[in-house]
Structure 1
Amino acid sequence: MNEVESMTTPVVFIHGLWIHSVSWLPWQQLFGERGYDTLAPNWPGDGTTVSETRADPGRVLDIGVEDVTDAYARVIEGLPDAPIVVGHSFGGLVAQKLLDRGLAAAAVGISPAPIKGVRAVPLSLLRSSFPVLKSPANKRRTVALTENQFAYSFGNAISRGESDELFRDLTIPSPGRPLFEASTANLRRTSPTGVDTRRGDRGPLLLIAAGQDHTVPAVVVQGAHKLYVRGGAQVDLRTYDDRGHSAPFDRGWRDLAEDTLSWLEVQGLKP
């Protein structure tokens, strides 16, 4: 990416598994109207469009959490100031890692994938991960969800019609490796999903949980929040009891976006 010559309070949006970066377009428009400059880069190997990514899924083979984090770090290096990073699911985990590296002014993790140290493993999380974790070979493969799998993992708190529409418009094949890295994190001394929750010199962090989320249940996000609080970090937690994993890009996306903007204003991070 070419160096950005002039920006005001950049915001970098980071998508998660199975969702293309175009899912952030409504957020980018809203944040732009409020004076922020925004970017929503793709993961390494993703095409510029949903259809392009679906047409060549082999480009995202064997992409892991560190690969994604390093790619966004390179994007940030081209910005004039440390950005706000907003991520969903595994994008929320990457946002925390960028904050941990000192590359972000603040971070927002929406239903973030679990960091190393979170012990909660609800049954719905296991079921949502099963399409990947059912075969060890999927660690180095690209995996696509079916409509039914998406409806359970992402769309359970919305109508089936809306879920199917989101599936058609936003879903892409994704690498299986990040899920294997997250599922084995607590079995290893070090893990790509690890962050230093005891650091006191990082920027503020907002964790957002969805009470009906099957993929990253609220108890998982609450577990991460507890780790940060014990470490003395500046972290806030908000829970939307009636929302699922599709919350940042379904018809109720604006609730989360407006609350995120309000939180940024409280942190003194207005444009």
Structure 2
Amino acid sequence: MTTSPTPVVFIHGLWLSASSWQPWLDLFTERGFAPVAPTWPGEPPSVAEARANPESAAGHGIEDVTRHYAEIIDGLDAAPILVGHSFGGMIAEKLLGEGRGAAAVAIDAAQIKGVLPLPLSSLRATLPVFRNFANEKRAVSLTADQFRYSFGNALEPDESDALFEAWTIPSPGKPLFEAASANFSRHSPAKVATGNTERGPLLLIMGGKDHTVPEAITKSTLKQYRGSTAVTELVEFPDRGHSLTIDGGWREVADSVLSWIEARVSEPAAV
């Protein structure tokens, strides 16, 4: 009997194009999955188009992005495995908490409501947005130097600069403002159903040298799930920064994710 391969939905974060997941898509396809990496709402399909139309994604917040991916998931034949990076990791957590995924992997995920630590490196990494309150309604781009601090600090400068040229796009400032005010808002869009005991398994991955989402944030996120009996696990890559999904060591991270999926969920369906 022929069955359909397990769908996997990849969700990127701020400042990276959806197309940056391409090596992951190729690998997961080879391993028998059916992966997709949709763009955020308003995001053009290519890096060049996104840079040429910087305001196309402006104004979209966490809930807009979550509902956008929820609609995509609702159109699939089966509940997918969700893999998100940075704000994409937060979105993956939200969708899993809503019961829209069979499992989720949140890689260097942005802080959810309830997470209190905000290390200085995180503040510096997000300064390009927070330096102007008007950026809440705008799309913001990073410079190569800003990218090197926020994403590529664990890399050689040449590799960081090459990744900047290949994958960065303007991104909406609104999600950062929403996350920053989450603990002061009763109905914050950064709230995740961390107490859901019926959800699928969740893997949190952190880079030990990440400036944008330092390990203190990920460890605090793990604590938010202590009220749930559902599987929640943590894996650390001590020498990696926020670029760990796109830099030269991406395959190590991807292999770890695949191993966890195969152990905690199931083998991909035979085709």
TM-score bracket relative to the smaller structure: over 0.9
For 1:204 and 1:33, the matched residues in 2 are separated by 23
CA deviation map 1:121-142 (0-9, x unaligned): 1000000011101111110011
Q: Which digits, 9 at most, give the CA deviation of each residue in 1:215-262, with x for residues without a partner?
A: 000110110101112433310000111000000110000011001000
Q: Aligned partners of 1:63 and 1:26: how far apart in 2?
A: 27
Distance in 2, Cα, partners of 1:269 & 1:90: 26
Residue 19 of structure 2 is aligned to residue 22 of structure 1: yes
1:9–1:83 contact (8 Å) kept in structure 2 = yes
2:225 alignment partner, SS class:
helix
Query: 1:187 offset after TM fit, Å?
Result: 1.1
Q: Does 1:123 align with 2:120?
A: yes
Amino acid at match of 1:18: W
4+ runs of 1 displaced by more than 4 Å? none
Instruction: Choose from 142, 145, 157 the match for 2:142.
Output: 145
**CA deviation digits over 1:60-106, x for unaligned, max 9?**
11000010111101111110000000000000000001101111000
Look up the match of 1:228: 225
Two-structure CA RMSD over aligned residues (Å): 0.9
Aligned equivalent of 2:197, options 182, 197, 200: 200
Give the aligned partner of residue 39 of structure 2: 42
Q: Is 223-232 or 93-102 further displaced after alignment?
A: 223-232
The answer to whether structure 1 residue 57 and structure 2 residue 38 are counterparts is no
Q: Deviations over 1:131-163 (max 9, x none)?
A: 101111110011000000000000000110000
- Partners of 2:132 and 2:227 lie apart in 1 by 36
Q: 1:13 aligns with which of 10, 14, 32?
A: 10
Distance 1:269 1:173 in 2: 37
Q: Map 1:1-271; keep pairs closer than 5 Å.
A: 7-271=4-268
Whichever residue aligns with residue 164 of structure 1, its letter is: D
TM-fit CA distance, 1:197: 1.1
- Deviation of residue 200 (structure 1)? 0.3
Counterpart AA for 2:242: H
* Counterpart contact for 2:90–2:110, Cα < 8 Å: yes
Aligned residue pairs, count: 266
SS in 2 for 1:166: helix
Task: Tell me the SS of whatever aligns to 2:8.
Answer: strand
Question: Distance between the aligned counterparts of 2:254 and 2:195, measured in 1?
Answer: 28
SS class of match (2:56) = helix
Please state whether the residue corresponding to 1:231 is helix, strand or coil.
Answer: coil
TM-score normalised over the length of structure 1: 0.96
Unaligned 5+ residue runs, structure 2? none
Conserved 8 A contact 1:197-1:233: no
TM-score between the two structures when normalised by the length of structure 2: 0.96
Distance across 1 between alignment mates of 2:213 and 2:42: 24
